[in-house]
Structure 1
Amino acid sequence: MSSSSSDDPAVGHEYEVFLSFRGTDIWKSFADCLYHSLIDAGVRAFRDNEELHVGEEIGPKLMKSIKQSKIGIPIFSADYASSKWCLLEVAEMVKSMKESKQLIMPIFLDVTPDEVQHQTGSYAKPFSRHEKNFDQEKVRAWRDVLKEVVKLKSLELDKVANG
């Protein structure tokens, strides 16, 4: 029996998963491994270095891809907060979670949820820079988004065997 498109849970979603991570981070190999594992399992996943093309405007494509994903996975690492794009992505995930019930599954890699929530440790210095370079309201919104995401069910890889 063939199923109709209305039975497909991915209808209306271009991607099942959107991965948000800091590309220059030492943990990029983890993001690559996760991405390829998802693809190998038949999951349509988005990561910016695979899906964006030369000459394409980055911002609108990223935000559209987040909105068209069923699940957002921010991979919080030591360098994540230094990227305004990562903060914009996780903020868009929270917005999509509130508007369209998108799921967010945070992963903490070499940082603790407490560091992310309170912007301490490796998150302190980037936020000091953001306060100098961006509107205070935008920085406050990013801080609030991080506090909200930390409350969600998550995975702390340093607490997982062989993580």
Structure 2
Amino acid sequence: MDCMRIQSTLSHRKNWKYDVFVSFRGETRNNFTDHLYAALRRHGIVAFRDDTKLKKGGLISEELLEAIEASQVLIVVFSMNYASSTWCLQELAKIADCIQVPGHRVLPVFCDVSPSEVRKQSGNYEEAFVEHEERFKGDTEMMEQVQRWRGALTQVANLSGWDLKDKSQSAEIEKIVKAVTNRLSLKPSSSVSNDIVGIHSPVQELEKLLVLDSEDDVRVMM
């Protein structure tokens, strides 16, 4: 890898406006999500936080879409009524689009719902989609959106994440923060996909060489 390519990679990392974006339903605002934000702050992690009340209908704001694009790590907190909010589902669809964008990392957290229920849209998620389909019946464009939301749920729920059932939330939050910290600092971690054969050793060697002491540092590999 030449000097210009290294500089380009480092410049890309510095362009993030936020370290983390958290998508969540209001029901987790005053418990798990609030504790997660507090833990992120304690570790110096800059997280975008939308403190407005999430709406059941309407279009997601451009500010939120831009915040998702501008955040390196995207955390989705799935809860019992997450899928009942079209606002949350619009966020999720945007987050799913970012999975294939270089630099983004999507982390699902299953707060009071099982990963299987989210992936298969069963239980409360099935009930939510029955309501969405009834509401948008006859609107071809919105019915296409509903199918997109279903696909996004399956896609994100299939990613490696955290199932909080019967576990200490504080302990799991520390694990989440550690994963985020590793991602932001380019420390070697399990974030490298196991699907890419032979990539772990070269990536880890590169990460060791790219530890920066300040924002102006540039490392050159010969």
Shift of 1:150: 1.4
**Which among 136, 150, 155 is matched to residue 148 of structure 1?**
155
For normalisation by structure 2, the TM-score amounts to 0.63
Partner of residue 78, structure 1: 80
Shift of 1:83: 0.8
The letter for the 1-side match of 2:21 is: F
Structure 1 residues 137 and 7: CA distance shift in structure 2, 3 A: closer
Shift of 1:99: 2.8
Partner of residue 39, structure 1: 41
Confirm or deny: 8 A CA contact 1:20 1:47 kept in the other structure.
no
Structure 1 residues 67 and 104: CA distance shift in structure 2, 3 A: same
Q: Which runs of 5+ in 2 are unaligned?
A: 1-6, 53-58, 137-141, 171-222
The letter for the 1-side match of 2:36 is: L
Confirm or deny: 8 A CA contact 2:24 2:88 kept in the other structure.
yes
The letter for the 2-side match of 1:78 is: M
Partner of residue 143, structure 2: 136
**Which among 17, 24, 34 is matched to residue 14 of structure 1?**
17
Partner of residue 112, structure 2: 110
Q: Report the structure number with the largest CA radius of gyration.
A: 2
The letter for the 1-side match of 2:160 is: K
The separation in 2 between residues aligned to 1:146 and 1:28, in whole angstroms, is: 24
For normalisation by structure 1, the TM-score amounts to 0.84
The separation in 1 between residues aligned to 2:112 and 2:12, in whole angstroms, is: 33
Identity of aligned residues (%): 36
The letter for the 1-side match of 2:61 is: G
Partner of residue 54, structure 1: none
SS at match of 1:149: helix
Structure 1 residues 58 and 115: CA distance shift in structure 2, 3 A: closer
Shift of 1:96: 1.5
The separation in 2 between residues aligned to 1:69 and 1:133, in whole angstroms, is: 32
RMSD: 2.3
The separation in 1 between residues aligned to 2:124 and 2:50, in whole angstroms, is: 24
Confirm or deny: 8 A CA contact 2:60 2:90 kept in the other structure.
no
The separation in 2 between residues aligned to 1:101 and 1:15, in whole angstroms, is: 13
Structure 1 residues 67 and 162: CA distance shift in structure 2, 3 A: closer
- Equivalent pairs, count: 153
The letter for the 1-side match of 2:37 is: Y
